[in-house]
Structure 1
Amino acid sequence: MPGVILWLQLLLCAGVITFSGSRLCRYADVLAEKTGLGRTWMGLVAVALVTSLPELANGVSAVLWVKAPDLAVGNLLGAAVLNLAILAVADIFYPPGPVLTAADRGHILAAAFGVILLGVATLTILPRGPLMAGLSVRDVSLSSPVLLLCYLMGMRATFRFQRRERAEYLQEHPEEIEDILYPDHRLGEAAGRFAVHALVVVAAGFWLPRVAERLAAYMGWHLSLVGTVFTALVTTLPELVVTLSALRLGAVDLAVGDLLGSLMANIAMLGLLDFLYFDGPLLLAAAPEHAGTGLLAIIMIGIVVAELIFRPQKKFLRWISLGAFLLAFLYAGNIILHILAHR
């Protein structure tokens, strides 16, 4: 009977996330149009923060109560890599062509700040890292405020870029009519409904990994590869649902912006968690092998940038583009290497 209850809780949680996640995307798209902020910025900031808050909660729990800084760092870096792997899933479920070809080139700016954030974090994690590794003030590494500052700078730069691009477009196309996609929606109504569904997604996102962990333990999976993969897949459901929902709306920039924004938020959270960890700099307490995860994420972002610039017109194997295939291959290879290393 307890197993049935756990499965029902999991299905309920997944259903809630699917329902509210799809509506979250819809109202984010309405807000992008009504406010003039654009889909890229809405995905990068608003939607990404919503889907990243459960990971922040798990990080706070690992640092304050479990006292496992290595777990907190590993989870956030792993989530960053997984966000890039979800781009491969998005590519498969986007029939018109390579999903990054349909995305705005403005995402290159977000990807660049993602590389900066990952570079700072990775260089700090490396043994005797060359970047502020030994510099700290009251158990906080100097790289932590740098991470937070870089994140804020990335948000500001993207906002200014999108505003400038929109102004130039409207200047070149003065006949452009605004609010043509959602003429029946009001800004206040859309903002309120976005907030409600955001709270639902965040609450379900907090609940979901705990149910998954208890279910894996009940089924005897918690010490096996099945348990690890099961928990990881279930935990990423909010990002996956939001991404696929955005694609169904035709809002490619909202989907790509959410994934890149979640990546940036996850790395910036390392800086925030450092202020909550009182036994020394957080990144220096992490295992050096996490630097490998950071380097993998940088390579994967490089693939994303290459596809955003090159913009291939056809998919590599009819169902997936070359860039997405490489992202999936690198992620799968990383999992296999971790399995072999811990046998």
Structure 2
Amino acid sequence: MTIKELAQELNISTTTVSRVLTGQEKKYRISSKTALRVRDGARKHQFAPNQIARNLRLQETNTIGLIIPDISNPFFANLARTVEIELRKRDKMILLCDTKDKTSLEKESLHLLLGRKVDGLLVAPVGKKCDHFIKNSKIPIVLIDRYFKDQAIPFVTTDNYQGAYSATKFLIQKGHQNIACIQGLWHTSVNENRILGYRQAMEDHTIPDKFIQISGSGYSIQNGYESTQELLRKRNRPTAIFALNNQIALGAMKAIKEAGLHIPEDISLIAFDEQPYFELLSPALTAIQQPMQDIGKVAVETLFKLMSGETAENRMLKPNFIERESVKSIHL
């Protein structure tokens, strides 16, 4: 059944039927009685509006592209879920692309989504170059989690510097000086800011440079595992490890267990990125919690501002420190 046929059967204008089915009855002051007749008639005939035709008429697709580095990482999986929930509230669909932390796949994903005529883009970028995003600045783009310095593309992220600073400071207050930091992708803004926070906390507490140890090269379990193995082989092994994401922390835990050591008795551990299962581990893992739901919500709000022709500000949200059982006090 077409919308015209439905309107004829109900003896109501096509325009009125269209407005009711698109949720605009209040805007056009259509009575609740009429709106109910239209919806009952649509249900009776299992009528569904031709969304493709509507999109062509309005020159929009009601879809938003989301590009993330690694869907297997719980952080980005949860982020995607939060974004999808927020977009669904606005009757928008999500098209998801996983770049596997590769710039080549990021460019390919961007090309694919532009070809699909998405109304806007939310991107957690991989590399330190953003030329391919700048070239497509006509479409609204908001960066999530990671961003580019000195570029005009709006972003929403956590205050990674402050989160890393507070984690390192906590370890120092527990008596640790020999604190190793296992990093992720070195060229990302997230990693750089967390390293800066770690270094600044060490310097502010006059910890000698010889104790500043930065290992690793990726946000993976394997990186955490191999980097921790290397750290544990050192003659003066660290008394604490600060893992710059949840995956790295899991790899570190595996290496510590295989070495016959125990957390926190032999070595303390803190992770950046809280996960629901951290409190179920033995010992429960101390972590920096990012405001996941707020990041997704604010990112979507920011994108819709751009899509409406408004300007949007960068947002840096405050992280939360969760103390559990994985850090030992070593004060004499």
TM-score for both structures, normalised by structure 2: 0.23
Larger Rg: 2
Q: TM-score, normalised by structure 1?
A: 0.23
Say which structure, 1 or 2, has more relative contact order (CA 8 Å, 6+ apart): 1
